[in-house]
Amino acid sequence: MNRDPSPFRTASTASTATSPTPKYANLTASTNLRYSLTRKSIYDRHLNRTKTSELSKSAFAFLFGEMVQYAQKKVYGVQDLEKKLNLHGYAVGQRFLELLLWRDGRTAKRETRILGILQFISHQLYRAIFQKQADTLEKVRENDDEYMISDNDPVVNTYISVPKEMSQLNCGAFIAGIIEAVLDGHCFPAKVTAHTAPNEMWPGRTVFLIKFEPEVLEREALRVGS
């Protein structure tokens, strides 16, 4: 793949030069935002460059807030909104899983057991995104196919106060989407939903309920048998 950004250099000089190169002239409009002054796009950077870098929490809060507002314009009802946030998260999760496994390099492992994948999510994935582990990982006692991962103070919800008329809503649906994508990526199809479960210490505690599809349990049973 040709990664040389020189075509764009030609393009941007074209906008100021007196004789524009006709071939790339139509690219000038979008070059300013996408390419920094060094003419290097994010595709030219090494993937590990951002491994330990941090993001401004305020910037993220504003961006996420806008996302919620944008999603709100196009939905009818709380469930629809959560679904939309879940989808946004799903897109992030798909890409993030790829990146995470790539960064693990040779030590990367494909999880084949339910417990393994859940631990991968609550430890590695959570640490990579939020720099902390998920607070608990439990199994739902009544149902064999349900598991819970809880987060005492989800980063996405720090500045969000849900109004009373939408009390069902938890914007952690975004994180639920990320988890769902990672599970799907490992061939553990599941539905993941976010629920508010406050306790005295943590008023914003959120529980991610993971409900696996029946075929996952079937496979698991076969593995245990062997």
Partner 1 sequence: MAKKEQASCSSTANLQPTLSQPHPSAASAAPASPQARFRYLATMVVYAVLILNKAGGLIYQRDFNPGLQKLSSNDYLILAGTFHGVHAITSQISPTNDSASSGLEVLESENFVMRCFQTLTGTKFLVFAEPRQPNLDVVVRRVYELYADYVMKNPFYQIEMPIRSEGFDRHLTSYIKPHQ
By CB under 8 A, the residues from 23 to 62 that bind partner 1 are: 58, 61-62
Q: Of 38 and 161, which CB lies nearer to partner 1 in the complex structure?
A: 161
- Altogether, the residues listed in the chain come to a count of 226
- By CB under 8 A, what part of segment 65-84 binds partner 1? 65-66, 68-69, 72
Give me 50's structure tokens: 């951002």
Q: Which stretch binds partner 1 (CB under 8 A): 64-72, 86-94, 103-111, 116-124?
A: 64-72
Cite the DSSP H helix spans in 120-172.
126-130
Q: Which two tokens stand for residue 72?
A: 């709100």
Segment interacting with partner 1, rule: CB under 8 A, options 92-100, 145-153, 161-169, 172-180: 161-169
Phi, psi of 189 (to 5 degrees): -55, 130
Among 159, 168, 187, 221, interactor with partner 1 by CB under 8 A: 159
Distance in Å, CB of 165 to partner 1, minimum: 10
Alpha helices in the chain (DSSP H): 6-16, 28-34, 57-73, 78-104, 114-119, 126-130, 173-185, 214-225
Q: Footprint of partner 1 on this chain (CB under 8 A)?
A: 58, 61-62, 64-66, 68-69, 72, 159-164, 166, 203
